[in-house]
Amino acid sequence: MNVMEIHSFGFLGWPEIMGILLVMLLLFGAKKLPELAKGLGKGIHEFKKASREVQDELQRAVEEEPPRSPLSPPRPSVAANPTEPAPTAKGWVS
């Protein structure tokens, strides 16, 4: 394949689009095409809306600090006297 074939592989021209529309017209009929287009438009709109909501939620989760559980132990503080042992989850270190 040359470079031109690779770049034009994913694009449809007018003859292809007209052929697809003609096949759709033959398969579904003239009365069903507007309903199908309306349903497709609503589906695309809902997909974009859901995608935008997920992106917004992820952005908020990244920006926020995770909430602390009320059952989580307090963070250990530095002892006032450096000679005193620091507290641990099981008690004092000896």
- Residue 14 pLDDT class (50, 70, 90 cuts): confident
Looking at residue 73, its pLDDT comes to: 64
Looking at residue 53, its pLDDT comes to: 96
Element (DSSP H or E) covering residue 51: helix 32-63
Q: Which two tokens stand for residue 39?
A: 């349903």
Looking at residue 54, its pLDDT comes to: 95
Q: What is the pTM of this model?
A: 0.45
Looking at residue 32, its pLDDT comes to: 87
Return the half-sphere exposure (C-beta side, CA atoms, 13 A cut-off) of residue 18: 3
Domain segments of the chain as ranges: 30-57
Q: Are 85 and 94 in contact (CB under 8 A)?
A: yes
Element (DSSP H or E) covering residue 3: helix 3-7
Return the half-sphere exposure (C-beta side, CA atoms, 13 A cut-off) of residue 58: 6
Looking at residue 12, its pLDDT comes to: 82
Q: pLDDT tens digits for 32-70?
A: 888 988 999 999 999 999 999 999 999 998 888 766 666
Looking at residue 47, its pLDDT comes to: 96
